[in-house]
Structure 1
Amino acid sequence: MEPTAHSQQEASTPSSTETAEDLALKLNVAVRDSNTEDVLLLLEKGADVNSRADSGWTPLQSAVQANNEELVQLLLDRGACPHARKDNGGTAFTEAAIVGNVNILELLLKRGVNINDHDDNGFTALMEAAWYGRVEALEFLHSKGANVNLRRAVSEEKAKLHKGGATALMDACREGHFSAVKTLVQKMGADVNIRDNKDSNALIHALKKGYCAKERYESAVSIGRYLLQHGIDVNSKNECGKTALILAVEMQSPDLVEALLEKGEIDIDDADEEGNTALMVAVEKNDYNIAKLLCEKGARTDVGNLIAVANRKRAPKLALLLRQHNARFIPENLEDWEPNSKRWRDQLKNLYKIYRPMIGKLKTFQYIQQRIQNTSRGGIYLGLHGGTEVAVRITRSVEGDEEKRFFEQCGNCEHLLKLFQFEKDRGYTYLCFPLWERNLEEHLQDPEEQMDYKDALRMIFQAVRELHSLGFAHQNLHPSDFFIDLGGKIYLADFDNRRKLIEGKKDLVNSDLEALGRLVLYVLTGGRKPLQQVSTEDLAADSPDYHEALDLVHSLVSHDERGLEGLSKHPYFWSKQSRFKYLKSIWNKIKSLPNRKAVFHALNAMNHSPYPQWTNEIDECVLKSMKNPPEGKRYNYKNTITDLLRFIRNLDEHPTDRISRRIGDHTEYFLALFPALTICVHNRLRQSPSYSHLADIQDSPL
C-alpha cells in the first residue's frame, strides 16, 4: 500500500520535535500492529528500518512474529537486515521457524541466511520448529539442508554445567509433538540415541513433563512407545539419575512400564541419585498395578522401607503384595565412612549411602554426577569394589574381555594402569581400576596443584617404554591418558583403544616419539596451551633446563637413533650436581687418553661454539687467580671448550676460600654462567664415532 499525496506531504516535513528514537518506537509499534500504511509513512519520514525495540527486536523480526508475509517482504525491500540479532542472538529466521511459515523461511533463505545458524542458547531454526511442532517447517528446512542431528551449541561455561547438547528430536519429544517426532525419525533420519550434555537421550526428554496434563501424558506415552519401536537405548538417565523406567513409573503409566520391561535390556533395579528404584517409586505413589507388574518381573523387594512406606500410605493391599514377594523391613545402619580420595570425596560418600544394585562385589552408578572422565568409548565412573575406591569402565562383554586381557598384561608394569578387579552382569563387563585423583591435563590446569616436571616426565617416559615393551604403540598420547594418584604417581592408560601392535613397524614407534615430544612441551609449559598448539617457542628461555629440554624435544621429534630407552637417560633428566660432575669427569677422561688431541679436535672444532669468548664471562679475579695458582704452573686458558672443561675441573679440584667466597657454590655458578655447555659437550662426544662412549653418564664417576 502506497501513502496518499497528503501523507507524502506530511512525511516530507516531519515534526521538528520527532526524533529518530521516536520514529523507531512508532515503527516497531506499527509493525506489531501489522499497520502497513503507518509503516510506509514512518519509513518515508526516515525511520530506521533496522532500529531496535526492547530486547533488541527489529521491525523485521516483529513482522515475522506477526506472521505477516506482505510486511516481511516490504521491510526486506526497504533494506531490513535478515541477519540482525535480538539480545538473545535470535534472528528473523529462527523466529520464522517458531511461527512455522515456510514462505517467510524461503524469503529469508534467498537473502543469504545460514540455515544452521543458531542463537546464543544454541537453538537453530530446525530446533525451534521442532520445539513448537511445526511439521511443515521441519520438512522444508530439512529439504534445504538443515542438519537434523545437530546438537545444541552452548558456551564453555554452560557446557561445564552440562547444559546444551540437545537435538531437534529431543525438543519435539520434550514438548510432546508426536507428529514432529515421527517426521524427524521416519522422514529425516534423526538419530534417536544421541545424548545431550546431561547424558539424556530423546526418550528421557519425552518423559520429562509427561505427567503434567492428560494430553501431555498421552503424547508422552505415544512418543515413548514409538521410540522404543525404533531402537532407543532404555538405559539413558536424566540429570537426577532417573531411568526411563523410573520416569514412566512417576507418570504412573503401566502401558509404558510394560513396554520398557518387554525390551529386556533395562535394569529393573536401577536407582536414581537418591537411591530410589522403580518399585520404590511405585510404592511411594501407592500404585498397586505398577508395583504388581514390577514385582512379577522380578524387581528386588529387599531394598528400602517398602513395607513401612505402604503402611504410611494406608495401603494394606499393597503391603500384602510386597510381603508375598518377600519384602522385609531392613533397618538402615550405615557406619560413618571417609574416603581416601580428596577430589571425589563427596561423590563417593553419596555412592556409599544410597542404594545401588550390587554387581558382584561392585557398587557403581552410571550417571553423570558419578562420571569422572569421558573417553571416545564411553565414560569412566566411580565405584566401590568390596569397599575399595575404584574407577569403573563399563563395556559390552566381548569388548570387555579384550580390554581385560590387555590390562592384565600391565600387571607387572610400574607406570601402566593395572586392573584391580572385574565383574560381569547382563552382557556387560565392569573393569575396576585403582582410583586416580586427576589426569595430567586436569592437574596442570589447576593453579593450586604443584608438580615436579622432571619427575613427572621420568614417569611418563617409563610408562611409554613399558607399553612398547609389551609390543604396543599407544598412537594417541594425550595428557588426559595419564592419571595421577594421591601419592603423585603417574600411570598411562588407553581407554580409547587406539593402541596398535608394533610388530616391527618403526613408524608406529616414531609416531609415539613425536607425540611424546609434544607432551614434553605441554608439561614444561604448564599446560597453558592445548597440546596441538604448544611449540618450542613457549619454553621459558631462562629455565635452567632450557637447552636440555629443547634438545630432548628435537631428539624425540626427529626419531633419534637412541630411541626411547636411550632418551630416557638424556641430560635433561640429570640433576644439576650430575651435570657438573659430568663436565668435570670429561676432562679427567680426556687427559688420560693416549690420543687426546683427536678428542680435543672433536670438542673444539665447532662451527658455532656456544661460548666462543668464555674467558670474558668468568669473574676477572677468579680467572686471574686460576691462571696463576699459588701452587702449580702458570697456565693461560684459551677460549676453547676443552680449556673451559679444564678450568672447571681445576677450580673445583683445587678450591680456595677466596674463590669460593667470590662465586659461591661452584655447581650453581658454572651451570648458570654456561647453561648450554652440558648438552653441547654431550652431543659433540655422542656424535663422534670414536668417542661416543664418553658421552654416557654411567661412564662418569657420578
Structure 2
Amino acid sequence: MEPTAHNQQEASIPSSMETAEDLALKLNFAVRNGNREDVLELLEKGADVNSKAGEGGWTPLQSAVQANEEDLVRLLLDKGACPHARKDNGGTAFTEAAIAGNVNILELLLDRGLNINDHDDNGFTAFMEAAWYGRKEALKFLYSKGANVNLRRAASEEKAKLHKGGATALMDACRERHFSAVETLVQEMGADVNICDNRGRNALIHALKKGGAKERYESAVSIGHFLLDHGVDVNSKDECGKSALILAVEMRSPDLVKALLEKGEIDIDDADEKGNTALMVAVEENDYNIANLLCEEGARTDVGNLIAVANRNRACDMARLLRRYNAMLVPETLKDWEPNSKCWRDQLKKLYKMYRPMIGKLKIFQHTQQRIQNTSQGSIYLGFHGGTEVAVKISHSTEGDKEKTFFEQCGNCEHLLKLFQFEEKGGYMYLCFPLWEKNLEEHLQEPEDQMDYKDTLRMIFQAVRELHSLGFAHQDLHPSNFFIDLGGKIYLADFDNKRKLIEGNKELVNSDLEALSRLVLYVLKGGRKPLQQVSTEDLAANSPDYREALDLVGSLVSHDERGLEGLSKHPYFWSKQTRFKFLKSIWNKIKDLPKRKAVFQAPNATESFPYPLWTEKIDEDVLYIMEHPRKGRTFCYGNDVTDLLRFIRNLDEHPDIRISNKIGDHAEYFLKLFPALTIYVYNSLRQNPEYSCFADIQDLSL
C-alpha cells in the first residue's frame, strides 16, 4: 500500500536531535509503509535495526514480514536484523512469515539458522500458524524442510493444569475450516486424524465446534465428511461432553448426522454433561428432518420430556413425529424444594418450576416479576447458578469485564459484596452475587425487623473502610446500596458504578465521610425520615448513646483527623461495660500525676465539664457511705471531674452491699446519671497532646 501524503509527512526525518525511541518508532512506521528510502535514511541516522516499537514489542524485521515486504526483509537482514528476536508473545519473524504465507521469506529466514519447530509463548509453531490461516504453499514448504506435522501445541504448566494446549496443525486447519489445507495435511503429509488435544478433542470435534456464515458451514460439512472417510474416531467429545453427533445436530446438518450414524460406531443416545442427547437437541432446535432421521435410526424417545419441549416450541408436526415413535407427554414433577431466602421465597419457587434455557450454569428470567432492584446501570434479577440462589446483574461484556474486575478485588473483604460466579453469552456478561434479603432502606422500614443500630453502623463503617483500602471512594453511600443477608450481615455494593479512584484526593474521602454522617443519622432515626432530610435534631436526647452519637456525627462532618479508621473506634461503638471500664481506668492513670486537673484542660478545649455539681446528683446515702468508709479515714469528694472518676473507681473496686442494694448495676447507674461523662473525658484526653494516649482503650488497666 502506498503511503498517503499525511503518512509521508509523519515519516519524514526532522533535522532536530531525536531520541532512540523516536528513531525506533519512525523506523517501524517507515517499514510498515514500505518506504525503503526512509528506512535507509533512518538506519544511517543511527536507528537500531533491532529496536522494538509500539504495542507488542515488534521489531522492524517482524513488521516487514507481516507487511509482506520481501525486499525490506532482505534489506533489514543485510543491515544486521536478528531473525531470532521475539515479540512480547514470543513470536518471531519466522512465525509471522508463516501467517503471511510467503514461502520466499520463510526460506530466507530458515537459511539464517532458525529452528523450524520453534514456537511462541502460546505453543504455536510456524507450521501451526500456516495451518490456522490456511496457507497451503507455506505448509508444503515447511513440511519439506522437516516441520513435524503431528506436533502437539506446547502449553505452560499453568495452562496444562487447565487442560489447555495440545492441539495440532490439523486441528487448527479444521477449527478455521480450511478444507484445502486439511486435505493437504492428511493426504500429502500423513497428519494423524485421531490425535487429541489436552481436552480430549480430535480434529473432527474441532471442525464441528465453531459456528459461522454459510461458507464456513459448508466447509465444516466437507471437512467432516473428509475426516470420516479417513477413519476419524467418531466417539471423541468436546469439553462439555458433546459428541460429534450432538455437534452435527447443533450445526443443523442432516448430511453429517446421517454420515455419522452410517459409521455404526456411535452411540445414538449418548448424552452431554447436561444430560442432552442428540434427539433432545434436535427437538429443542425444532429441526424436524434431523429428529426424523434420529427416530428412524432408533434414538430413545423416553429420555427427556420431548413432547413438552415440542409443545413449548408450538411444533405440532414434531410432537406427532415423536408420538409415532412412542414418545409420551410426562407431567413435570419437581422435587419438593424450599429456598433459603425468606424474602424472595415465592419468586424463587416460580423460577425453580419454570423452564428457562440455561446460560452456562445460570438460570434466569428477565421479567419484572423476577427483578429485585433497579440501578442506573440496569436491573438486578433473581437467578440460580449451579442450584445456588443468586442476584444477577447483566451488563454488556466490555462494561461487565470492568465490573467483574472490581468485584473480584472485593473477594477478601468482609463487608463488600463479592462476586460468586459469572457467565457470558451473546455479548453480555451475567455477574452473579450471593443473594441478599433486603437493602438497608427496606429493612429499616419494616416494623417487624428489629435492628441493633450500633452493630449495623459498625458493619457500615467497616464496609466503607474496606472500600477505601482498595483505593476507591464510593460517592453514593445511600441505604439502598447496603444489603443484608439472611444472617443479618451487611454488605456494601456499587452497582451504579459511581466510585472513583482516590489517588491522594482527600476531598473524595471527605465526601464519603459527610455522606456517612447522614447515614448515621438515618439509621438512628430508624429510616423514618428521608436520607437528605435527617439532622442532629432527629437524635433522641434521652438516648443512652445521644452524646456519643452527636459527637460521632460532628466528627464525620468536620473531617476529623482520626479519619474513618480512628472513628471506627469512637466511644459510640463501645459497650456500656467498656465505657464504664474506661472511666474507671482513668483514675489509675492520673492518680500519681502532680497536676491531675491539667489532664482535662486541653489547650484547645471547647467543652467544659458538664457536671460541676456532680456530688448533688449522687444518692445521698451512697455519697455518705463512700465518704465515710468502715475502714479508712473520712474523705470529702470535690465537684471536679478527677474526683468523680476517683469516686467511680473506688465505688466499683471496693463494693459495699449497702450501695449495691441501693443503685443496682454500677455501670448502668453511673452512665444513666452522667450520660455526657464518657465523651467529655474521652475528648478532653484526646485533645490534650500530653495525655492523648490515655484515650486508648486497647488496654484498660484497672
Measured against the shorter chain, the TM-score band is 0.5 to 0.7
Which secondary structure state, in structure 1, belongs to the residue aligned with residue 491 of structure 2?
Answer: strand
Give the drift of 1:565: 0.3
Which secondary structure state, in structure 1, belongs to the residue aligned with residue 533 of structure 2?
Answer: coil
Give the drift of 1:689: 0.9
**Cα distance in structure 2, aligned partners of 1:409 and 1:671:** 43
Structure 2: 5+ residue stretches without partners: 1-282, 292-302
**Aligned equivalent of 1:608:** 608
Asked if the contact 2:600–2:688 (Cα under 8 Å) also holds between the matched residues in 1, the reply is no
Deviations 1:48-70 (A, max 9, x none): xxxxxxxxxxxxxxxxxxxxxxx
462 and 307 in structure 1: CA distance in 2 versus 1, 3 angstrom threshold: closer
**Aligned equivalent of 2:307:** 305
**Aligned equivalent of 2:682:** 682
354 and 632 in structure 1: CA distance in 2 versus 1, 3 angstrom threshold: same
One-letter code of the match for 1:445? Q
**Aligned equivalent of 1:15:** none
605 and 428 in structure 1: CA distance in 2 versus 1, 3 angstrom threshold: closer
**Aligned equivalent of 2:426:** 426
Asked if the contact 2:518–2:532 (Cα under 8 Å) also holds between the matched residues in 1, the reply is yes
606 and 358 in structure 1: CA distance in 2 versus 1, 3 angstrom threshold: closer
One-letter code of the match for 2:523? V
Asked if the contact 1:364–1:384 (Cα under 8 Å) also holds between the matched residues in 2, the reply is yes
Q: How does 1:653-668 map to 2 (within 5 A)?
A: 653-668=653-668
Deviations 1:201-236 (A, max 9, x none): xxxxxxxxxxxxxxxxxxxxxxxxxxxxxxxxxxxx
Q: How does 1:158-173 map to 2 (within 5 A)?
A: none
Asked if the contact 2:366–2:381 (Cα under 8 Å) also holds between the matched residues in 1, the reply is yes
**Cα distance in structure 1, aligned partners of 2:618 and 2:668:** 13
2:365 paired with 1:365: yes
Give the drift of 1:634: 1.8
Structure 1: 5+ residue stretches without partners: 1-282, 284-289, 296-300
Deviations 1:516-541 (A, max 9, x none): 11001111110000100011111111
**Cα distance in structure 2, aligned partners of 1:397 and 1:637:** 73
Deviations 1:282-306 (A, max 9, x none): x9xxxxxx9999x9xxxxx987735
**Cα distance in structure 2, aligned partners of 1:559 and 1:544:** 25
Give the drift of 1:599: 1.9
Deviations 1:335-364 (A, max 9, x none): 111110011111101100000110000001
**% of aligned pairs identical?**
75
Which secondary structure state, in structure 2, belongs to the residue aligned with residue 348 of structure 1?
Answer: helix
**Aligned equivalent of 2:471:** 471
**Cα distance in structure 2, aligned partners of 1:589 and 1:689:** 15
One-letter code of the match for 1:663? I
TM-score (norm 2): 0.55
**Cα distance in structure 2, aligned partners of 1:426 and 1:538:** 51
Which stretch of the first structure deviates more once superposed, 620-629 or 475-484?
A: 620-629
Asked if the contact 1:604–1:642 (Cα under 8 Å) also holds between the matched residues in 2, the reply is no
**Cα distance in structure 2, aligned partners of 1:609 and 1:597:** 11
Give the drift of 1:596: 3.5
Asked if the contact 2:439–2:480 (Cα under 8 Å) also holds between the matched residues in 1, the reply is yes
**Cα distance in structure 2, aligned partners of 1:599 and 1:316:** 91
418 and 598 in structure 1: CA distance in 2 versus 1, 3 angstrom threshold: same
662 and 693 in structure 1: CA distance in 2 versus 1, 3 angstrom threshold: same
Give the drift of 1:608: 3.0
Which secondary structure state, in structure 2, belongs to the residue aligned with residue 542 of structure 1?
Answer: coil
**Cα distance in structure 2, aligned partners of 1:661 and 1:350:** 61
Q: How does 1:53-68 map to 2 (within 5 A)?
A: none
Asked if the contact 1:310–1:319 (Cα under 8 Å) also holds between the matched residues in 2, the reply is no
521 and 307 in structure 1: CA distance in 2 versus 1, 3 angstrom threshold: closer
Give the drift of 1:700: 2.0
**Aligned equivalent of 1:636:** 636
One-letter code of the match for 2:460? I
Give the drift of 1:635: 1.7
Deviations 1:623-661 (A, max 9, x none): 122122222222221111111111111111112111111
Give the drift of 1:699: 3.7
One-letter code of the match for 1:645? L
**Cα distance in structure 1, aligned partners of 2:447 and 2:331:** 45
**Aligned equivalent of 1:619:** 619
TM-score (norm 1): 0.55
Which secondary structure state, in structure 1, belongs to the residue aligned with residue 668 of structure 2?
Answer: helix
Q: How does 1:335-350 map to 2 (within 5 A)?
A: 335-350=335-350
RMSD: 3.1
Which stretch of the first structure deviates more once superposed, 603-612 or 679-688?
A: 603-612
**Aligned equivalent of 1:570:** 570
Deviations 1:429-466 (A, max 9, x none): 00000000000000000001011111111111100000
Q: How many residues align?
A: 407
Q: How does 1:311-460 map to 2 (within 5 A)?
A: 317=317, 319=319, 332-460=332-460
**Cα distance in structure 2, aligned partners of 1:369 and 1:421:** 23
Which secondary structure state, in structure 1, belongs to the residue aligned with residue 519 of structure 2?
Answer: helix
**Cα distance in structure 1, aligned partners of 2:432 and 2:511:** 30
Give the drift of 1:592: 3.1
**Cα distance in structure 1, aligned partners of 2:445 and 2:597:** 52
**Cα distance in structure 2, aligned partners of 1:344 and 1:510:** 37
One-letter code of the match for 1:431? L
2:602 paired with 1:598: no
**Aligned equivalent of 2:540:** 540
**Aligned equivalent of 1:480:** 480
691 and 568 in structure 1: CA distance in 2 versus 1, 3 angstrom threshold: same
